Amino acid sequence: MNQPVLERSAMDEAVRGSLEAVYRRALDIRAGQVADYIPELARVEPEGFGIAVATTEGRLWTFGDAEAAFTVQSVSKCVSFCLALELLGRDRVFEAVGVEPSGDAFNAIVFDPHTQRPFNPMVNAGAITIAGLLREALGESAEATLLDRFSRAAGRPLGISDPVYVSERDTGHRNRAIAHLLLNVGALKAPVEPALDLYFRQCSILVNAIDLARIGATLANIGRNPLSGDYVFDLAAVRDTLAVMFTCGMYDYSGHWALDVGIPAKSGVGGGILGVVNRQLGICTYSPRLDPKGNSIRGLEVFRRLADDFGLHAFECTNYGSSFMKGMI
Ligand code: DON
The per-residue DSSP string of 6-61 comes to PPHHHHHHHHHHHHHHHHHHHHT---SB---SSGGGGGS-TT--EEEEEETTS-EE
Judged on CB neighbours under 10 Å (0-12, 13-18, 19+), 29 is: middle
Neighbours of 160 (CB within 10 A): 18
Judged on CB neighbours under 10 Å (0-12, 13-18, 19+), 293 is: middle
CATH number at residue 121: 3.40.710.10
pLDDT, tens digit, 9 for 90 and up, residues 84-129: 999 999 999 999 999 999 988 899 999 999 999 999 999 999 999 9
Mean pLDDT of 22-39: 96
Q: Are strands 70-71 and 206-207 parallel, antiparallel or unpaired?
A: antiparallel
Q: Do 217 and 292 sit in the same domain of this protein? A: yes
Question: What domain range is 169 assigned to?
Answer: 76-203
Does residue 3 fall inside a structural domain? Answer: no
Name the amino acid, one letter, at 209.
A
- Say what the pLDDT of residue 303 is: 98
Number of continuous H segments (helices) and E segments (strands) in the chain: 11, 7
Does residue 232 fall inside a structural domain? Answer: yes
199 is catalytic: yes
CA 324 to centroid of ligand 1, rounded, Å: 34
Nearest residue (CA) to ligand 1, atom 4: 73
pLDDT, tens digit, 9 for 90 and up, residues 271-288: 999 999 999 999 999 999
Q: Do 153 and 100 sit in the same domain of this protein? A: yes
Query: pLDDT confidence of 157, banded at 50, 70, 90?
Result: very high
Does residue 1 fall inside a structural domain? Answer: no
pLDDT, tens digit, 9 for 90 and up, residues 196-217: 999 999 999 999 999 999 999 9
Last residue of a domain, one of 153, 182, 203: 203
Query: pLDDT confidence of 5, banded at 50, 70, 90?
Result: low
What is the count of structural domains for the chain?
A: 2
1, pLDDT greater than 60: no
Substitution candidate for ligand 1 out of 73, 168, 169 with most atoms within 8 A of CB: 73
Nearest residue (CA) to ligand 1, atom 11: 268
pLDDT, tens digit, 9 for 90 and up, residues 233-268: 999 999 999 999 999 999 899 999 999 999 999 999
CA 124 to centroid of ligand 1, rounded, Å: 7
Does residue 113 fall inside a structural domain? Answer: yes
CA 132 – CA 88 distance, rounded (Å): 12
Q: Does the beta carbon of 272 lie inside 6 Å of ligand 1?
A: no
pLDDT, tens digit, 9 for 90 and up, residues 46-89: 999 999 999 999 999 999 999 999 999 999 999 999 999 999 99
What pTM value is reported for the model?
Answer: 0.94
Does residue 2 fall inside a structural domain? Answer: no
Query: pLDDT confidence of 2, banded at 50, 70, 90?
Result: low
* Stretch among 60-74, 184-198, 310-324 having the lowest mean pLDDT: 310-324
Query: pLDDT confidence of 318, banded at 50, 70, 90?
Result: confident
Q: Do 245 and 322 sit in the same domain of this protein? A: yes
Substitution candidate for ligand 1 out of 78, 107, 200, 251 with most atoms within 8 A of CB: 107
CA 175 to centroid of ligand 1, rounded, Å: 10
Mean pLDDT of 17-37: 96
Q: Do 154 and 89 sit in the same domain of this protein? A: yes
CA 73 to centroid of ligand 1, rounded, Å: 5
Ramachandran class of 58: left when φ > 0, alpha when ψ lies in -120 to 50, beta otherwise = left
Mean pLDDT of the chain: 94
CA 328 – CA 326 distance, rounded (Å): 5
Last residue of a domain, one of 149, 169, 203: 203
CA dihedral sign, ordered 117, 123, 128, 134: positive
Substitution candidate for ligand 1 out of 174, 207, 269 with most atoms within 8 A of CB: 269
Share of the chain above pLDDT 70, in %: 95
- Say what the pLDDT of residue 256 is: 96
328, pLDDT greater than 80: no
Last residue of a domain, one of 151, 186, 203: 203
Q: Do 82 and 67 sit in the same domain of this protein? A: no
CA 269 to centroid of ligand 1, rounded, Å: 5
Name the amino acid, one letter, at 37.
Y
Share of the chain above pLDDT 90, in %: 88
User: Cβ distance 274 to 283 under 8 Å?
Assistant: yes
Q: Do 215 and 319 sit in the same domain of this protein? A: yes
CA 283 – CA 62 distance, rounded (Å): 10
Q: Do 228 and 278 sit in the same domain of this protein? A: yes
276 is catalytic: no
Ramachandran class of 111: left when φ > 0, alpha when ψ lies in -120 to 50, beta otherwise = beta
Nearest residue (CA) to ligand 1, atom 1: 124
22, pLDDT greater than 50: yes
Judged on CB neighbours under 10 Å (0-12, 13-18, 19+), 257 is: buried
Q: Does the beta carbon of 267 lie inside 6 Å of ligand 1?
A: yes
Q: Do 233 and 281 sit in the same domain of this protein? A: yes
